[in-house]
């Protein structure tokens, strides 16, 4: 199934090139995949992922993704 995955800032360098990565931010992931499984598939270390949004709302690692979901992954934010 296709989902749009947007990976921000320092997390981008972890993502492997893959045949599952289609054009733009579209990824082909297995049916019934959870957010946690997708993070593992993308090689994103758990401690580096701080904010997860699915379709603009807070998400967690147990959430099952659905066809057409838009999934944003952010690292910890710093600033002052």
- Whether 80 is in a domain gets the answer no
Kindly tell me if the per-residue pLDDT of 25 is higher than 60: yes
Question: How many whole angstroms separate alpha carbon 77 and alpha carbon 35?
Answer: 20
Q: Give the CATH number for residue 37.
A: 3.10.20.30
Specify which residues 28 forms β-bridges with: 2
Q: How many domains are there within the chain?
A: 1
- For residue 29, pLDDT beyond 70: yes
Domain carrying residue 64: 2-74
In a domain, 79, yes or no: no
6, two tokens: 């947007």
Q: Is residue 51 part of a domain?
A: yes
Kindly state the tokens that stand for 24.
């733009």
Pick the residue with more confidence: 24 or 71?
71
In three-state secondary structure terms, 74 is: strand
pLDDT digits (tens, 9 = 90+) for 34-80: 999 999 998 999 899 999 999 999 999 999 999 999 999 999 886 65
């Amino acid at each position: 199934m296709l989902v749009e995955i947007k990976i921000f800032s320092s997390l981008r360098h972890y993502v492997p090139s893959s045949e599952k990565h289609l054009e733009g931010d579209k990824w082909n992931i297995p049916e019934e995949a959870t957010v946690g499984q997708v993070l593992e598939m993308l090689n994103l270390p758990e401690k580096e992922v701080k904010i997860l949004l699915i379709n603009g709302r807070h998400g967690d690692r147990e959430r099952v993704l659905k066809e057409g979901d838009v999934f944003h992954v952010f690292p910890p934010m710093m600033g002052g």
